[in-house]
Amino acid sequence: MAFVFYDTETTGTDTAFDQILQFGAIRTDDDLNEIDRFEIRCRLQPHIVPAPMALKVTGITPRMLLDPALPSHYQAMRQVHAKLSDWSPSIFVGYNSISFDENLLRQAFYQTLQPIYLTNTGGNTRADMLRIAHAVAEYTPNAISIPLGDAGQQVFKLDRLAPANGFDHANAHDAMGDVEATIHLARLVRDRAPDVWNRMMKLSAKRGTADILEREEILCLTQYWRGLAHNRYVTECGADPTYDAARAVFDLKQDPEPYLDMTTRELVHEMKRSPAVIRGVQTNAQPILMPRASAPDALAEQSLPIEELEKRARTIMVHTDFRHRVGEALANRYPEKESSPHVEQQIYDGFPSSSDQTLIKQFHDVPWEDRLRVAMEMSDYRMRRIAQRLVYFERPETLPEKTRAVLGREIQARLNAHDDVLPWKTIADARKELDELRSEDADGNLTGFIRDVDEFLTERAVL
Answer yes or no: do 326 and 440 share one domain. Answer: no
The closest of 14, 37, 10 to 24, measured between CA atoms, is 37
Provide the β-strand partners of residue 279: 249
| Span 163-182, pLDDT tens digits | 999 998 777 789 999 999 99
Answer yes or no: do 47 and 196 share one domain. Answer: yes
Give the residue-averaged pLDDT of 6-25.
97
DSSP 353: P
CATH number at 150 reads: 3.30.420.10
Answer yes or no: do 324 and 295 share one domain. Answer: yes
Give the residue-averaged pLDDT of 43-64.
95
pTM (predicted TM-score): 0.95
Answer yes or no: do 49 and 168 share one domain. Answer: yes
Burial of 115 (0-12, 13-18, 19+ CB in 10 A): middle
In a domain, 85, yes or no: yes
Burial of 396 (0-12, 13-18, 19+ CB in 10 A): middle
Mean model confidence pLDDT for the chain = 96
Answer yes or no: do 282 and 363 share one domain. Answer: no
Q: Is the pLDDT of residue 151 over 90?
A: no
In a domain, 340, yes or no: no
Cis omega (within 30 of 0) for bond into 291 = no
Provide the β-strand partners of residue 230: 223
Give the residue-averaged pLDDT of 45-60.
95
**C-beta separation of 251 from 233 below 8 A:** yes
Answer yes or no: do 214 and 78 share one domain. Answer: no
Phi, psi torsion values for 145, nearest 5 degrees: -85, 125
| Span 343-378, pLDDT tens digits | 999 999 999 999 999 999 999 999 999 999 999 999
Final residue of a structural domain among 203, 234, 252: 203
| Span 285-314, pLDDT tens digits | 999 999 999 999 999 988 899 999 999 999
Final residue of a structural domain among 172, 203, 234: 203
How many residues would you count in the chain? 463
In a domain, 339, yes or no: no
In a domain, 442, yes or no: yes
pLDDT more than 70, % of the chain: 100
Query: How high is the pLDDT of residue 208?
Result: 97
| Span 255-293, pLDDT tens digits | 999 999 999 999 999 999 999 999 999 999 999 999 999
Answer yes or no: do 269 and 306 share one domain. Answer: yes
Contacts with 380 (C-beta within 8 Å, 6 or more apart), sequence order: 350, 352, 353, 356
Answer yes or no: do 93 and 118 share one domain. Answer: yes
Answer yes or no: do 277 and 220 share one domain. Answer: yes
Answer yes or no: do 18 and 125 share one domain. Answer: yes
Answer yes or no: do 308 and 356 share one domain. Answer: no
Query: How high is the pLDDT of residue 463?
Result: 62
Cα(105)–Cα(416) distance, integer angstroms: 26
Q: Which domain holds residue 381?
A: 345-461
Final residue of a structural domain among 289, 308, 334: 334
Answer yes or no: do 103 and 215 share one domain. Answer: no
Band of residue 124 on the pLDDT scale cut at 50, 70, 90: very high
The closest of 141, 142, 190 to 3, measured between CA atoms, is 190
Q: Is the pLDDT of residue 64 over 70?
A: yes
Q: How many domains does the chain have?
A: 3
